[in-house]
Amino acid sequence: MRLSRYFMPILKENPKEAEIVSHRLMLRAGMIRQQSQGIYSWLPLGKRVLDKVNAIIRDEQNRAGAIELSMPTLQSAELWQESGRYDAYGKEMLRIKDRQDRPMLYGPTNEEMVTDIFRSSVKSYKDLPLNLYHIQLKFRDEIRPRFGTMRSREFMMKDAYSFDLTREAAEHSYNKMFAAYLRTFDRLGLRAIPMRADTGPIGGKLSHEFIILADTGESEVFCHKDFVDFDIPGEHTDFDNVEALQAIFDKWTSLYAATSEMHDEAAFNAVAEGDRLSARGIEVGHIFYFGTKYSEPMGAKVQGPDGKEHFVHMGSYGIGPTRLVPAIIEASHDDNGIIWPASVAPFDIVVINMKAGDQACDDTCELIYAALSKAGKDVLYDDTDDRAGTKFATADLIGVPVQIIAGPRAVANGEVEVKDRKTGARETMTIEAAINRFVV
């Protein structure tokens, strides 16, 4: 991508409305734009990061056996009247009428709709277990939308829904998502700790929130400090192995960890003082087991091996991609801007032409840009005629992991500079060496 032809509206000034660093940097880097309170456009740079986050989420959901579909944002009120949640959900639900005066709503979550899909076609235990997910916009008319896309009214959610014949089988489905979440957040460069959590309007008794420790987090959390160094389930985890997944769950729930709603002061005080961690955190995922809470009122049942009909046991599993992007920035930035983990960086490499219009600089940059693009790298080429200082500031702000800098003096020697955004380390090398370093 040539920067001269891209759309990346950088802000020079610090936006006044931004209270936390991620919100400030997302606005300054031209990643998002607020359209009305708590409702955002994702501009091209932000969209790239969001897509990469979603690709990792999708990959791990698929690995754990979940199946992707797509459900609409607008739902009929009837379904919610069946489950009894239409009145219970309150003012957070955006209620709309269509031209025939039929009550509709912008979905805040999808338990009812997915249960409707399930009951319309699944009739036998032989079709279980089943886990269906989508990555879709949701709307919740939050009282206090704030911190940019961290808590917005319209936001994206990956929501998965599992269906099983028995409670035991449903617990295995829960454990699959539990392990998939540990892997997902790790691949996003984050340490998320599962904590016992309140179930709120979704319901059920068994629930964990996945929390990232951050000073700007909205939740107050309490946990054992050893969680910070626990091993993440490996790539070859067998998600069908019931015992292996139970062992992962047992290990990750063996020590104290709870959000403030579930906090048990006495149990926390039983943890050795030096091992106690009381901090603030960002909830990036939330999983629930709620048994037959929706299947019973909505009549979602299957025939069991005993020939009788059984209401299915369900769970739901949410991740907030549009919250994860700012959460990653909270965890990874410095005074100059964002520092993206390579797995979600909007570009792999930025090529900076320090003197656009200078033949040797132009030729060198074109050569590097073409070679790296051909090798499948996402390359941003800063071919604008901005001052070098502005280009450096922009490259640092948008946080691309590697900068290749071509200035007239180095280029005259057949060389460029390679800068690591995270460490700031710079290395001068031949043009060929710079290309070869990133082409494998």
Q: Which chain residues interact with ligand 5CA by CB under 6 A?
A: 109, 111, 140, 142, 151-152, 155, 157, 159, 202, 283-286, 316-320, 322-323
Name which of 109 and 184 has its Cβ closer to ligand 5CA: 109
Q: Based on CB atoms, which residue is closest to ligand 5CA, 227 or 317?
A: 317
Nearer to ligand 5CA, 320 or 407 (CB): 320
Shortest distance (Å) from residue 391 CB to ligand 5CA: 33
Q: How far is the CB of 153 from ligand 5CA (least distance, A)?
A: 7
| Number of neighbours of residue 249 by Cβ within 10 angstroms | 19
To the nearest whole angstrom, how small is the minimum distance from the Cβ of residue 310 to ligand 5CA?
Answer: 23
Here the tokens at position 309 are 């009909």
Nearer to ligand 5CA, 175 or 316 (CB): 316
For residue 128, the minimal CB distance to ligand 5CA (Å) is 19
Q: How far is CA 349 from CA 66, 312, 332, 362, 368, in A?
A: 33, 49, 18, 17, 11
Cα–Cα distance measured from residue 283 to residue 285, given in angstroms and rounded to the nearest whole number: 6
Minimum Å gap between C-beta 38 and ligand 5CA is: 8
Nearer to ligand 5CA, 208 or 391 (CB): 208
How far apart are CB 244 and ligand 5CA at their closest, in Å? 25
214 or 380: CB nearest ligand 5CA = 214
Tokens 């989420």 -> residue:
57
Closest CA to 81 of 266, 274, 297: 297
